[in-house]
Each structure stands twice: as structure tokens, then as C-alpha cells.
Structure 1
Amino acid sequence: MKGIRARLIVYITLVLLLIVLLLEGVFITAVHYYYLGSAMETLTSRAATSATFFNKYLEGYSINERARYILENLSPDESSKVEVLSPEGKVIINSFGFASSERIDTPDVKAALSSGKGTYQSLTPGKEERILAVSIALKESGTSIGVLRYSVSAEPLYSVIVKILINAAWVGLLVIAFGFLLSVIIAKRIVEPIQQLTGVAKEMATGNFAVRAKKRHDDEVGTLAVTLNYMAEEMVKSEKIKYDFISSVTHELRTPLTSIKGWGETLLVGDLSDTEETLMGLEVMTGETDRLIGLVEDLLDFSKFQAGELTLELEPYDLRGLLEDLLLQFRYRGSTKQIRLYADIPDEPLPVDGDFNRLKQVFVNLLDNAFKFTPAQGEIRLSAVLGDTQISITVADNGEGIEESDLEKLGTKFFKGKSRQSGSGLGLAICKEIVEMHGGRLRVESEFTKGTSVIVELPRYRIQ
């Protein structure tokens, strides 16, 4: 009973068995009432006809005289046992010509004496013969002077009924057997696709994402197969992105480490009295160290996001001050790279309820990306718009832009796109997480070779 197939077979067989038993019960009852009811109806009709005739045309005769007349005028084809009883229930005469002092006090006789008519069915199998009986009162001037009783053996009827029931039982057994075989076939057709999907899932669990499930029918199992295949495709994509990420991070780590090691060896074997060379080496080592620190911080932030351990320290402040500080910080970088940095920030406050350091991290990352992907003589614009319910900050550049195929995946963890610029591929994903934790939204608009705009929308803080 542990498998679905076994449970299906058992359940279907049980349901079929209950249905067959119910139908057999209804059929048995119908046959029983049909045969016995028809016999009782015929017997009643004949008894009532005879009693009516004798009551009408033998009026004035005593019960004994009526009994002899009834016996003499019985039809030779009469198959029923006919008895004429006294009011006390004693047999005055029967269709065999015998009298008996034995008293018959069956319910049909009592009913006939009290109400004029009674029926009786002795249907319980036992030592005595089962019978059907109808009793009609014989009357004289409205008073019962005896009983005319017709009775017939029910044994032949029961023999027919038993034969019919045996045949019905065989039919029921055949139906159950056929249903059992049908349930085995149905269970097999249902379970086999599930077993195939289970095998595919096990293969995927071992890391084999090339295996695919076969969709056999357009039903729930077929939908599950399609979903499983889709999951495998997404896992393949995810694995590829992770491998690319590992390769990228390895490269990003190796490059500054190689530079630091190279300059360290140069300074060790070189002439430390050469101040210019020493300062240049230290400057390079400091810059590469900063790159390593930034990469490590991205990895730490990502691990915190994955573990759900990153928390925000929210407090109300004016976002305009942060944006103006960043303008001063990046304008020097713009002058060294020959990139013009423009600002369009309103004079009125930009109130937000946020984590200052985390929001600074977001805009530093966005501006850093803009400078990274904008060539010399290019332009970068930082603008802010104060709305009724939100504040929109846009970092736009006229750099290389992003291809449409990469735009949908941008902001996905580990995704770097086709750019050869350095980076872990985590920065924008982390920025997106931080903005969403503030109740805002980050979206990217870009046109390849023409530039990119990153829009950050944050809820406006209402000063009480």
C-alpha cells in the first residue's frame, strides 16, 4: 500500500465492489418483490373473485353447505390449495376433500375475520414449507360466518429467484474481475509517467541537468514534466552564470594580487632611494588593494543578503546632502577621465527614511558604473525629482549602453553581461536589494551604443 499504483488498484477495486454490491442488493430486492408480488397479486385476485361470487350466489347457505359447494365447483386446473375455515379457524374442508380439527391462526385468517381480507407470506426458510396465502371472509347478512383461504407454495418461486441470484452473483464477480484488470491498466498508465519524472528528478539531483522529462499527455503530469524541464533549463543557466561568476571573481582577484605582488617584488629588489618609483608603486598597490576591498565587500554583502542577515538602520534625513557630496567626490574623477558630470538637483529638501550608508553605497555604485562604461569626452547626468509620494533619482550616461538581450537579466545575481570591464556582477544586484528593502524600486533603461539610465525610486518621507 506504499505505492501509488497499489493504492489506486485497491481504491478502484473497493469502489467497484461497493457499486456492484449496491446494484446486486437493488437487483435482489427487485426480483424478490417482482416474483412474490406477482404471485400474491394473482392469488389475491382469484381469492377475491371466488369469495365475491360465493357470497353473492350462496346467500342463505350455511358455512358447511358453502364448503361442499366450493369443493364441488373447484376448477380442475386450480393449482392453489383452497380451504374453507370456520370462524374459529378450523378447516371445514379443503381442496383435497379433507377436514381438520387443527386450528389455523395465521395473520391472514385473523385479518379476514376482522376486516374481511388478509394476506400472509411465510418467507423464512425452515423446516416448514414457505407459502403465500390470501384469506377472504365468507359473509351472511354482513356477518362473517367463515373464511375462504387460498394458499400456494413459495418454494418454486424461491428456486427461480435463487437461480437468478446465482447468475447475478457470477455477473457481479466478472464485473469486479474486469474492473480489477482495468484498475491495473489505469494505475499503470498514471504511475508510469510519474515514475519517469521521478527518475528524471533523481538524475537532476545528481547534477545531470541535460536529462529531460517526456510529456506524454496534456494534463497535470504533462504540466509537471514541462515545469521540470523548465527548472532544468533554469538550473543550467544558473550554473553557467555561477561558473562565469567564479571565473570572473578569480580573474578580478588575480589581477590586483598579481599587480601588488609584482610591485612588492620590484620595491624589494629596487632602489628605495628612488622616491618617484617608490611612490608610484605604493600608489598602484593602494589602488589595487581598494579594488580587492570593494570586491570582498560585495561578496560579504551578497552572503548577508542570501542569509537574510542584512539589516537597515533607518532614520529621516535629506537625500540632497548625500547627492551633493557625491557630486564633489566624482567631479574630480570626471576631470581625470575627461568625462563631464552634470547635476539637476532641486533646491528643496529630498526627505527619505533610510539607511544613510546603504543608500550611499547604492549611488556610489551607480555613479562608479556610469564612469566605468562611459568613454572619454562622454557625459553623465545625476538628477532628482521630488514627487507627491516618491523621490526619483536618475543616473544617466551616454556610454556604450546595454544590449536588449542582456537588459532583462541586468540586476540578476552574478550576471555581468558581455562587458569586459572589471567587476563581480554583484554590485547592481546588491543595489536593487537595498532599494527594495527601503520600499523602493530600481529599474534600468538602456539603448545599445547610446547610453544607459538607472532610475531609483524611493518613498518620500512625510515630516510630521
Structure 2
Amino acid sequence: MKGIRSRLIVYITIVLLLIVLLLEGVFIVAVHYYYLGSAMETLSSRAVTSATFFNKYLEGYSINERARYILENLSTEESSKVEVLSPAGDVIINSFGFASSEHIETPDVKDALISGKGTYQSITPLNGERIMAVSIPLRESGENIGVLRYSVSAEPLYDVIINIVLNAAWVGLLVILFGFVLSLIIAKRIVGPIQQLTSVAKEMATGNFDVRAEKRYDDEVGTLAVTLNYMSEEMVKSEKIKYDFISSVTHELRTPLTSIKGWGETLLVGDLSDKKETLQGLEVMTGETDRLIGLVEDLLDFSKFQAGEIKVSLQPYDLRGLLEDLLLQFRYRGQTKQIRLYADIPDQPLPVDGDFNRLKQVFVNLLDNAFKFTPAQGEVRLTADYNETLIIITVADNGEGIEADDLTKLGTKFFKGRSRQSGSGLGLAICKEIIELHGGRLRIESEFTKGTSVIVELPRYPVE
């Protein structure tokens, strides 16, 4: 029973079997009590009526005289065996007209003498047959002088009961058989979609994300099929983003390497006495080397990010000092690119519990992106604010902005966006991870062609 289908069939069959057995048991008991109870009630009514009559109208008669009178006045249609017994249980006369030496010791006789009425029903055959009997005392002046006993064979009733039980058993077997067939159908309808989903999942595990699961029913399995299809679509998108990312990084690595190699070959075959050309070549090679170092550092940080190994060493310090240093660093860059850099930093301290180097990496990346995507004559704003619980740093530009479709994906792994500007596309994902490790949040607001704002929220360190 390793499969769900086998277990379903077995469980449904067992439950159905138990229900049928319970109902059969209740039915058999009900039939038994109905037939035997009705027969006993009829027999008891007849015996009580007869005994009451004889006790009332045969006052002064001896037990033998009463016995003969009872025998002579029995109805020809009387099917019961009628016996008149002495108080000791000896048969004085029976409905066959013969005195008998038979001694009856069944409980109904004793109960009749004690309580005024006794009944008896033999479950097992007695002297070859099962009987039902009712005994009523015959009285004279309040004293028991004998017993009037009505008895009848219960064998015909048991034959009827057995016949009904056998028919009920056949019906029960048919119900169980029908239930078994029904369990096969139910198991197939339940397990079939699951097997199809399993097959689809195996195909996806081999890398075939074009396969789709069929939603057969609007239930949990159907929801699972929809979820599996959604996962497949997301995997396809993720794979595409990953391949685009690899292509982008490869291009970003190839460009500086090509420049370095080109200038290296130029310097090797050129005239090194031309100091201006040599310095120009070395400057280009140094700049491209810095680009390579930045890319490699991004890739190393991203690999740590993927493995969950980015660590931060937290200690309290004033974030305002870091921001002022960055202003000095990027102000010269703004002048060379003809981009205005504005700052709004409060005079009050901005205390945070953070990793200085990691936070510097974040804000350098954000400012670098702002300058990269802002055209000449544009502007970049660095503002800082605070409240009782948060330090809020905003880096805003009026550059090209981000399209709405890309905005929701920005900061996820492998996603670079549609900009043609150079870069690996890893920076924001790494920045987001670093800020979250500080217990903060990084969010992006942008309007296409109008600019972008990156808001960093860090917990404010309590200062006494």
C-alpha cells in the first residue's frame, strides 16, 4: 500500500464494510425483536385473556374440571399448544386431549406462580425445536391451583428471520461491491491529477519549463496545478533574467579587458618616448582596471549574498560624518559631469548602530547610480532626516527614471533593468541585503523620464 490510490481504495472499502456490518447488525437485531416480540405479545394476550376468563367464570371448579372445560372449549383454529399444569409443573392435560406424565420446569411456570405471569423463549432448540411460551396461574379463592400455559413453535419465525438475514447479507455484499467499484473511480479521479502533476514536476526537474499542468477540478489539486504552472513561469523568467545577467556581466568584463589589452598592445609597439600618449594609455588602463575591480567585488559580494554569508560588524557612530565625506567625494565628480549635487543634512547627530564600511558601500553605490543615470545639467539630491525611531536617507535624481514594470523587480537577484548604462545590476540587490541586515529597509520610488528616489530607513540608535 505504497500508493495513495491503494490506500484510498483500502480505507474506503474498510469504512464501507464497517458501516454495512453495523447497519446489518442493527437490522438483524431489529428484525429479531420485531418478529419474536410480536409473536410473544400475541401469545401473551391470548393467554392472559383466556386465564382471566376461566378464573372468573369457573369459580368452584377443581383443577381437573377446569382442565377438561378448557380443553372442550378450545377453538378449532387455535394454533398454540395449550397445557394445564399442576403447581408442581406436571401436565394435567394438553390441547391434544391427553393427560401426560411430562414435567415442565421452564422459567415461565415458576414466574407465573410467583408474579402472576411468566414468559419463556428458547434461543437454542429444546427437544428438537425452539419454542415460545406464556404461563398464567389458575386461581381459586386467591390461591394458585394450577397454571394455564400457551406455547408455540418458534421455528417458522426463525426460518423467516434467517431468510431475511440472508437476503440482507446479499444486499450488504452488493453494497460493499458497489462501494469498492466506487472507491476505484474516486481514487482514480483523485490520484489521476496528482500523477499528472508528478509527471509535470519531474519534467520541470529536468529543466523543461515549457510543460504545463492541467487544471481538471476547482479544488486543492487544481490550485496546486495553477501554482505549479505559476512556478514554472517564474522559473522561466528567472532563467531569462539570469542569462541576461550573465550576458551583461560578460559584456561588462569584456569591455575593460579589451581596452586594457588594446592600450597594452599600443604601448608595446608604440613609441614610449611619447609621454602624453603613454600617460593617456596608462590612465585608461587604470580606469578600466578600477572598473574590473568593482565588478569583481560586486560578484564576490553577490556570491556571499546568495550563500547568506554577508556579515556586518555593528557599532554605534554618527552617520552624518559618513554622508559629509561622501559629499566631498562626489562633488568633484558632479563638476566633471556637469551635474549639480545638493545636500540637506541636519546639524544634529544621526546615530546608528551599523557597519561603517558596509553602509559606505551602500551609499556610494546609490550615489554612483544617481550620477550614472542623470544626464549633464541634471541634479542629484542627498537628504537626511530623522524621527524618534528612524534615520531616513534619500538619494534622488532627475535622470531617466525606471519603468513601472521594472520597478517591482528592481533589487532582486539577476535583474539589471533595461538601461543601457554599464553595470552588473548587482548593486541594488546587495545594498538591499546590507540594509536589511541592519534591521532597516530600502525602497525605491521612480517615475519614468522624471527621476528616481532611493529611500533608506535605518533604526535610530538611542542616545542618552
* TM-score (normalised: structure 2): 0.98
Aligned partners of 2:424 and 2:144: how far apart in 1? 116
Q: Deviations over 1:51-91 (max 9, x none)?
A: 00111111111111111111111111111011111111100
2:307 aligns to what?
307
Cα displacement (A) at 1:269: 2.0
SS in 2 for 1:163: helix
Aligned partners of 1:315 and 1:299: how far apart in 2? 26
Aligned partners of 2:198 and 2:86: how far apart in 1? 85
2:380 aligns to what?
380
Q: Deviations over 1:288-347 (max 9, x none)?
A: 111111111111111112212121100000000000000000111111111111111111
Please list every run of 5 or more consecutive structure 2 residues that lacks an aligned counterpart in the other structure. none
1:353 aligns to what?
353
1:15 aligns to what?
15
1:148-167 superposed matches below 5 A: 148-167=148-167
1:117-266 superposed matches below 5 A: 117-125=117-125, 128-266=128-266
Q: Deviations over 1:17-76 (max 9, x none)?
A: 111111111111111011100100000000001100111111111111111111111111
2:337 aligns to what?
337
Aligned partners of 1:149 and 1:365: how far apart in 2? 112
Aligned partners of 1:334 and 1:278: how far apart in 2? 27
SS in 2 for 1:145: strand
SS in 1 for 2:458: strand
Cα displacement (A) at 1:155: 0.3
SS in 2 for 1:396: strand
Cα displacement (A) at 1:99: 2.0
Aligned partners of 1:125 and 1:15: how far apart in 2? 36
Letter in 2 for 1:447: E
SS in 2 for 1:102: coil
1:49 aligns to what?
49
Q: Deviations over 1:122-143 (max 9, x none)?
A: 0224763100000000111111
Aligned partners of 1:117 and 1:452: how far apart in 2? 105
Letter in 2 for 1:368: D
1:300-449 superposed matches below 5 A: 300-449=300-449
Aligned partners of 2:406 and 2:57: how far apart in 1? 113
Farther off after superposition, 8-17 or 356-365: 8-17
SS in 1 for 2:101: strand
| Matching of residue 294 in structure 1 with residue 298 in structure 2 | no
2:285 aligns to what?
285
SS in 1 for 2:297: helix
1:80 aligns to what?
80
1:27 aligns to what?
27
Letter in 1 for 2:326: L
SS in 1 for 2:353: strand
Letter in 1 for 2:174: L
Aligned partners of 2:254 and 2:113: how far apart in 1? 119
Task: Identify if the C-alpha distance between structure 1 residues 438 and 264 changes in structure 2 by more than 3 Å, giving closer, same or farther.
Answer: same
Farther off after superposition, 299-308 or 269-278: 269-278
1:41-120 superposed matches below 5 A: 41-120=41-120
Q: Percent identity?
A: 86
Aligned partners of 1:152 and 1:209: how far apart in 2? 82
1:457 aligns to what?
457
Cα displacement (A) at 1:178: 1.1
Q: Deviations over 1:402-433 (max 9, x none)?
A: 11121111111111111011111110111111
Letter in 2 for 1:87: P
* TM-score (normalised: structure 1): 0.98
Q: Deviations over 1:147-200 (max 9, x none)?
A: 100000000111111111111111111111111111111111111111111111
Letter in 2 for 1:298: D
Task: Identify if the C-alpha distance between structure 1 residues 127 and 94 changes in structure 2 by more than 3 Å, giving closer, same or farther.
Answer: closer
Aligned partners of 1:441 and 1:396: how far apart in 2? 16
Aligned partners of 1:110 and 1:185: how far apart in 2? 62
Aligned partners of 2:126 and 2:435: how far apart in 1? 91
Q: Deviations over 1:91-111 (max 9, x none)?
A: 011111222223211110010
Aligned partners of 1:422 and 1:3: how far apart in 2? 55
Letter in 2 for 1:186: I
SS in 1 for 2:102: strand
| Matching of residue 5 in structure 1 with residue 5 in structure 2 | yes
Task: Identify if the C-alpha distance between structure 1 residues 449 and 34 changes in structure 2 by more than 3 Å, giving closer, same or farther.
Answer: same
SS in 2 for 1:428: helix
SS in 1 for 2:396: strand
Cα displacement (A) at 1:145: 0.8
Letter in 1 for 2:366: L
Give the length in aligned residue pairs: 464
Aligned partners of 1:306 and 1:418: how far apart in 2? 23
Cα displacement (A) at 1:13: 1.2
Letter in 2 for 1:431: C
SS in 1 for 2:298: helix
Q: Deviations over 1:186-233 (max 9, x none)?
A: 111111111111111111111111111111111111111110110011
Aligned partners of 1:71 and 1:374: how far apart in 2? 128
Aligned partners of 1:69 and 1:429: how far apart in 2? 115
SS in 2 for 1:101: coil
